[in-house]
Structure 1
Amino acid sequence: MAGMRPIACATIAIAGFLSCGCSNPIQGSPSAEGMSPSNTQEVRQTDAQGTPLPFHNTFSKRWNSANDGTSYEPCTVGADRLVSLGIDPDSARDAATVDGQTLRGCDWDYFPPKSEFLSIYQIVGNSESLDWYKVQNRIGSNWLPDEVINGRRVGVASDKSGGCLTYVQSGTAGVVTGSGYGLLPSLPEKEICGYALDLTRATIDKIPE
């Protein structure tokens, strides 16, 4: 249900960028380089490789100096990868809610029956390193032991409201993948974090180092 999505993603700490357009970040706020949609005839509609976004982009500053540390674009990861995890690629929504917002990425729904309360997102924002990110998000986040996926270090954190995220460094940016559940009590930590880890594993080969 669309009404459950903000509950599922709002409580993971994102230093310097918001996830899923949530309104209650623990730290940071949107970087608004212009707050209104631009002329849609002049707005970029593809990622760095020329792959079209899965929605019509109205934000001319969707790509900006706060998220240009990597060329990776979560929204064009590929429908087959999403479907293999039970994620509906046709549900893709831009994670940004204003032009020039710090974050860049998408959030999606799962196919039924998971779609009712489960949500997933993947976003990009410039960040120095996983260690720096952990310091910035030490309040409200329960950092679990790091994972190693395809030889790369992946941070994993849950929060007391039932969300979980992973963090992968890409250039001078962090790629954050988050899962949430729209009911309390949430799913067990291992299960909810498993959804974020699954999408991380499915996309990490596309994320530049």
Structure 2
Amino acid sequence: MRSFKLLDRLLGRNAEPFVPGAHLSALSSKMEAGQCWIVPEGAVVVPSPPEPKYPEAERIAASIRDFPEDWGWLMKGYKLIHTPSGFVLWVANQDYGLAEVCSNGGKGDFSKVEQAIIWPAVSDWLARNKVGFTGRLPKARIKGRDDAFCCYADGLPWMGVGSSPEDAYRAWRHAISAQARGDMRPNEYLQVRSASL
């Protein structure tokens, strides 16, 4: 829009109907602080949002909140890593505080205000990605023939051996779970082997 048409419209010399907000961008681009401007009647002027005081903290919190799948454990319980960028965040606990982990192993602590911005997003991420203890034993496999059976589970280093599938499972269960050992009979011995051999 040419400037004299804008002035005609602002001064009411033009018969065209004014659409509020339609030409405010042209007007606001010419505005400078400390100058007076005449805004047409009925115009809606919206203040621009304030600049964030802690933009880095707000970007980190927004990333953790909006894209939780981009974050993962670098060191479980202590360090979170933003996988796409390699940014590492120390999150040991809320009392100790949050810090950026530098490439040389040092930490750059965030201020208390920045921590207050980041920590709610971190605690939500931790709650969402927590693997809770269920107390249930993993799914076991039993193999054997005739008078020898063995029981084991993928990822666990112990194998229970017995003369029946029940005996093998019982030996395996007592080997991997201290809670299960509570029902052992006095002077009972179970045959357990390392599955890695």
TM-score, normalised by the number of residues in structure 1 = 0.17
Name whichever structure is richer in strand by fraction: 1
TM-score, normalised by the number of residues in structure 2 = 0.18
Name whichever structure is richer in helix by fraction: 2
Name which one, 1 or 2, has greater alpha-carbon Rg: 2
